[in-house]
Structure 1
């Protein structure tokens, strides 16, 4: 707890210092309206603060006049404390879209005004607390809503995961597996994920990929029965877990369904863990309380049961 308090105090002190540098002397906008997108050659996104977003390539110069990523990175790092304290889940997306815009066919994708407004709404109170104001060159009125996107579909997410390297050799995640993964983050059941939720999904997939590689160590690009059991146990999915019991019979059913020649490949490995994680969360949301026994039970309607088991 003391470490957490010390870390929080350090972040706030650093935040105050950096805000004085980045927000203390705002630049005047030369003109209203969304700045024209830059055109050039797409290049890999290398700015550390912008890693893990829904895109992996940018284009320079940016709308703020930075000629390269190195110059843009020096300035964007001033916002690190704000991103770290998570005053808004959209801040990182907004800042990166301005300083290191997504490259689409050689052109910079324009900044979305809605993303800007959400980021500003969440962070303006903290910024004002230190006596500063939102940077004029990043005023939301400068941007349009034309580039705003409601969310990424399953097919778009599948493509982005491939582009970001979430494959094992020639194995990529199937569309069905991506839909299962989306169910973990699609809170409003819209069938789409916004950039923030995509970042969470991408981080989750990155962790599963690392686990898979650790188990199979590049030998056969697959895991065996013992390794699959270890993976499930590592995720709290075993016979001793009250939230999600997986006895020997159920594991055998699972193994018979997914394994081929005594092994499970990368796509099925991810699908199994994501599916069981989803079912565990669904079970928790329907969990019954004050039971007259030392047991764990849940109540489902037929519609809920069909939907959840069809995932």
Structure 2
């Protein structure tokens, strides 16, 4: 049975790498002009920590269809799971993350890890590591760590973003991340994390200044004033609903305070992104799909 499996794997490699000798290779240090971010359409590269790419890629593919046809030849390597980083490497080359209209450089460490796991298997079947994935042509400068909600929560505590013994809950951290997670990936790179921690630092400073009698909580009146200072003006009905949801014994603690600010500012940003223009009235309205509405209100 094992012998049959080996034969199938060998056939998969033969089919997968039949055209590998014709693949190009990236130009070392090559930078591409800014383009337009577009949703990832290549099946193998969907569901990563990023959801938008930009063309051309470093191999010169002008569109995703062209890149997808070539990267699919490597699917056998991904399917046999010779390395957990192989898929990340391939997608970063063929369908790179779009950062402000520019392709994110390929991480050299990711390439080396993928090569270490997959090259021995390739050699076993008579194949060499393709020149298009030459690790020495990539850089370590793009090897940023992507932080999950639990990692961010831990780092915020380590950085002193607490009030007394109050720490930000995991749920509040997830709400905070929605302010910075443009890719909706559930993770943040170091740059976005620094933006998030700056936001938390400012919110903590504000909370400490307005807390009543330095007991780690704010009153209804204090919260209403804080929201106005952030240009988050709620009518009496909505503020009442918000207050009833978050207050405990007539006050709101640090975690709840940050969650309220982040949730409202996220919803405000989402509303602006869906705002309708050229309306026949002196009003502000937005258009949402049901999926958009559910996603945003679940924050």
1:294 corresponds to 2:282: yes
Q: Provide the C-alpha distance between the structure 2 equivalents of 1:283 and 1:147, rounded to a whole number of angstroms.
A: 33
Deviation at 1:149, TM superposition (A): 4.4
1:277 corresponds to 2:265: yes
Deviation at 1:220, TM superposition (A): 1.4
Q: Provide the C-alpha distance between the structure 2 equivalents of 1:186 and 1:301, rounded to a whole number of angstroms.
A: 20
| Match for residue 212 of structure 1 among 207, 213, 219 | 207
Task: Please give the residue correspondences for 1:78-227 in structure 2 after superposition, counting only pairs within 5 Å.
Answer: 145=140, 148-216=143-211, 219-227=214-222
Q: Provide the C-alpha distance between the structure 2 equivalents of 1:202 and 1:281, rounded to a whole number of angstroms.
A: 19
Q: Provide the C-alpha distance between the structure 1 equivalents of 2:140 and 2:262, rounded to a whole number of angstroms.
A: 34
Task: Give SS of 1:178's match.
Answer: helix
Greater CA drift, 265-274 or 216-225? 216-225
Task: Please give the residue correspondences for 1:210-289 in structure 2 after superposition, counting only pairs within 5 Å.
Answer: 210-216=205-211, 219-238=214-233, 246-289=234-277
Q: Provide the C-alpha distance between the structure 1 equivalents of 2:147 and 2:219, rounded to a whole number of angstroms.
A: 34
Deviation at 1:272, TM superposition (A): 0.2
With over 3 angstroms needed to count, the CA separation of the structure-2 counterparts of 1:163 and 1:292, relative to structure 1, is same
- Assess if the C-alpha contact under 8 Å between 2:144 and 2:190 holds in 1: no
Q: Provide the C-alpha distance between the structure 1 equivalents of 2:204 and 2:215, rounded to a whole number of angstroms.
A: 15
Q: Provide the C-alpha distance between the structure 2 equivalents of 1:142 and 1:229, rounded to a whole number of angstroms.
A: 55
- Assess if the C-alpha contact under 8 Å between 2:212 and 2:218 holds in 1: no
- Superposed CA offset, 1:46-102 (max 9, x none): xxxxxxxxxxxxxxxxxxxxxxxxxxxxxxxxxxxxxxxxxx99xxxxxxxxxxxxx
Q: Provide the C-alpha distance between the structure 2 equivalents of 1:170 and 1:209, rounded to a whole number of angstroms.
A: 13
Q: Provide the C-alpha distance between the structure 1 equivalents of 2:139 and 2:287, rounded to a whole number of angstroms.
A: 46
Q: Provide the C-alpha distance between the structure 2 equivalents of 1:218 and 1:148, rounded to a whole number of angstroms.
A: 46
Q: Provide the C-alpha distance between the structure 2 equivalents of 1:174 and 1:304, rounded to a whole number of angstroms.
A: 25
- Assess if the C-alpha contact under 8 Å between 2:216 and 2:254 holds in 1: yes
Larger-Rg structure: 2
Deviation at 1:145, TM superposition (A): 4.8
Task: Please give the residue correspondences for 1:39-50 in structure 2 after superposition, counting only pairs within 5 Å.
Answer: none
> Aligned residues, how many?
171
CA RMSD of aligned residues (A): 2.8
Deviation at 1:189, TM superposition (A): 1.0
Task: Please give the residue correspondences for 1:27-46 in structure 2 after superposition, counting only pairs within 5 Å.
Answer: none
Task: Give SS of 2:241's match.
Answer: helix
Structure 2 unaligned regions, length at least 5: 1-98, 101-106, 110-135
Structure 1 unaligned regions, length at least 5: 1-87, 90-111, 115-140, 239-245
Task: Give SS of 1:262's match.
Answer: coil
Residue 128 of structure 2 is matched in structure 1 by: none
- Assess if the C-alpha contact under 8 Å between 2:208 and 2:214 holds in 1: no
Q: Provide the C-alpha distance between the structure 2 equivalents of 1:285 and 1:146, rounded to a whole number of angstroms.
A: 32
Kindly report structure 1 stretches of 4+ aligned residues shifted beyond 2 Å.
Answer: 141-150
With over 3 angstroms needed to count, the CA separation of the structure-2 counterparts of 1:144 and 1:291, relative to structure 1, is closer
Deviation at 1:148, TM superposition (A): 3.2
